[in-house]
Amino acid sequence: MKPLLVKLVVVLIGLAIFGYAEVWGADWRIYAKPESGIGVYYYDADGITRPSKNIVRVWEKVVYSAKGVKRYVEESGKRYENLSHSLNLWEFDCVEKKERILQTTEYSKDGTVLSSTQSQKTPWNFISPTSIGEALYEAVCK
């Protein structure tokens, strides 16, 4: 009887420890759903970083609709027929109201990488009014 009691106590302690463990991960929040129907745009609220006083970096996830995939295929080729989503690392200068994308990775529906680009030398651009960039700027440069 004692071994059963010991096992029960071990199981209960394990459940208590793992039951209260905090799960770390992205906090994807919708910030845009354009009328064009291309897809839904999210940003990772937990992943926002500030490498310097006025600079903000944030990951964006674009989940493409069927219409968005079709448009992507028309612009970039048949290899994107199974496109699911893309992850983009944006950087904003919140004071100068400028933007740039440092990294972009497109994923297929089965999770494989379709393409990936990265550059720390991407030039800064002024944020265009009513653009996706402006919507993300408004969400993260508070």
How do residues 99-126 score in pLDDT, each as one tens digit? 999 999 999 999 999 999 998 889 999 9
Residue 127 main-chain phi, psi, to 5 deg: -75, 125
- pLDDT at position 33 is 94
Look at 41-50, 79-88, 115-124 and tell me which has the smallest mean pLDDT: 115-124
Residue in the structure block whose two tokens are 């004071």: 95
Nearest to 69 by CA among 103, 34, 111, 37: 37
Beta bridge partners of 59: 89
Mean local confidence (pLDDT), 24-46: 92
- The dihedral through the CA atoms of 105, 96, 93, 29 has a sign that is negative
Neighbours of 103 (CB within 10 A): 16
Domains of the chain plus CATH, in order, are: 25-140 (2.40.128.710)
How many angstroms separate the first and last alpha carbons of the chain?
61
% of the chain residues with pLDDT over 90: 77
Which pTM value belongs to this model? 0.80
